Amino acid sequence: MLDTIVLNNIRAYGYTGLLPEERTLGQWFAVDVRLELCLEKAGQTDDIRDTLDYRGVIDQIKNTIRTERFLLLERLAQVLTQQVLAFPLVQAVTLRVTKVAPPIPDFTGQISIELHRGKVQVQS
């Protein structure tokens, strides 16, 4: 059974969107991440080397949102999910990326994409 680290409301300003003004002017994004991994050793040793230093996950997400440009929110979510899965201890991730204030007339809500991905286990 895997344990969980949850990171909520990672906010960054980025340039993903279908409309030209989204890619030029940008907008705020928020990301929630649920990381599945084994935390048993860190719980016993109280040593950061035995767990995931989630500051790296936060930095990776913020940097990608700030520097990459995609047309679709789905693509941004996929890239972020793949990057988080690349952290060695992470076995699975559920990631939600939200456009905080999408430029849609007469719409004051938010739009989110949520993905769940796990590492592929290699059969020997």
Q: What is the mean pLDDT of each run of 10 residues along the chain (124 residues)?
A: 95 95 94 97 94 97 97 98 96 98 92 94 57
**Cβ pair 7, 35 in contact under 8 A:** yes
pTM: 0.92
Burial class (CB in 10 A: 0-12, 13-18, 19+), 43: exposed
Query: Is 99 tagged catalytic?
Result: yes
Domains of the chain: 3-118 (3.30.1130.10)
* Catalytically annotated residue among 41, 62, 99, 119: 99
**Cβ pair 55, 28 in contact under 8 A:** no
**What pLDDT score was predicted for residue 121?**
62
